[in-house]
């Protein structure tokens, strides 16, 4: 399936180009949401459990993502009803579910993740590399799918790397920047297979994000074998 990239792209003439985290934006930033193909999978209930959890949280805390999900759901429902009508006659069209965000008492983790055991009251970090901490979310991992939490101190970065498959990263607090754009709470960064990037925490509060990689991490510098082991 071909994806259309949403969000802030470096080559977007309306985005003002890539900037360093300590520079002030010249124009308002746009919300970065997942690509359309991920919403289609989400509407159909397909895809890895980790991706479905990430998309549920994305829709919960990002108003634009909620609107996109409602639109895709409505289109999918219309297609399904048309198929049913062509066979059994025209049924009444059910109302589209309210897409408003679901509130959660946790300041970081949306309800979609909190019910899986994510909690700000628990310090989940197990691995540390410089100013970046991580924890693998084993209950959401499966063959070929890696799910983990990251915490970036301001200015800290993961060494430049790419992936064997696509990667989705949902920002839960703070923000980070990479070669493709700048992301804040509720935004999703979508990485393509073979596309290198180097996420760096923005100034201010630490950035906490939930990343799902469909394919492993591949570091460009062979000397970064330590980072590869850190992410294994």
User: pLDDT tens digits, the chain, 232 residues: what are they?
Assistant: 445 445 444 434 333 333 444 444 443 454 588 988 999 999 888 899 999 999 999 999 999 999 999 999 888 776 654 544 444 443 333 333 343 444 457 889 999 999 888 988 877 777 777 898 988 899 999 999 999 999 999 999 988 888 888 999 999 999 999 988 999 999 999 988 888 888 999 999 999 999 999 887 777 666 665 655 555 5
**Does residue 148 sit within a domain?**
yes
Name residues whose C-beta falls within 8 Å of residue 107's C-beta, 6 or more positions apart in sequence: 120, 173
Which CATH number characterizes residue 124's domain? 2.60.120.10
For 162, the domain range is: 105-230
Q: What pLDDT score does 228 carry?
A: 56
The tally of domains found in the chain comes to 1
Q: What pLDDT score does 225 carry?
A: 57
**Does residue 78 sit within a domain?**
no
**Does residue 157 sit within a domain?**
yes
**Does residue 114 sit within a domain?**
yes
Q: What pLDDT score does 87 carry?
A: 46
Q: What are phi and psi of 158, to 5 degrees?
A: -85, 135
**Does residue 216 sit within a domain?**
yes
Q: Which long-range contacts (CB under 8 A, 24 or more apart) does 219-224 make?
A: 219/159, 219/160, 219/161, 220/159, 220/160, 220/161, 220/162, 220/196, 221/159, 221/160, 224/159, 224/161
**Does residue 147 sit within a domain?**
yes
């Amino acid at each position: 399936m071909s994806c259309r990239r949403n969000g802030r792209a470096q080559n977007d003439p309306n985005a003002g180009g890539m900037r360093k985290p300590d520079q002030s934006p010249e124009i308002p930033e746009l919300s970065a949401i997942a690509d359309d193909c991920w919403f289609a999978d989400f509407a159909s209930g397909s895809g890895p459990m980790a991706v479905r959890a990430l998309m549920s949280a994305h829709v919960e805390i990002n108003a634009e993502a909620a609107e996109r999900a409602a639109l895709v759901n409505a289109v999918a429902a219309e297609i399904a009803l048309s198929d049913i009508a062509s066979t059994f006659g025209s049924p009444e069209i059910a109302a589209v579910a309210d897409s408003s965000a679901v509130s959660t008492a946790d300041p970081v983790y949306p309800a979609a993740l909190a019910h899986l055991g994510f909690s700000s009251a628990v310090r989940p970090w197990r691995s540390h590399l410089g100013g970046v901490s991580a924890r693998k979310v084993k209950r959401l991992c499966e063959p070929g799918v890696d799910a983990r939490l990251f915490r970036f101190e301001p200015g800290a970065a993961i060494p430049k790397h790419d992936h064997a498959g696509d990667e989705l990263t949902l920002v839960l607090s703070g923000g980070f920047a990479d070669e493709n754009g700048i992301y804040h709470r509720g935004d999703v960064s979508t990485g393509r297979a073979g596309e290198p990037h180097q996420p760096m925490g923005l100034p201010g509060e630490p950035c906490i994000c939930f990343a799902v990689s469909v394919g492993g991490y591949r570091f460009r510098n062979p000397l970064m074998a330590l980072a590869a082991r850190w992410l294994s």
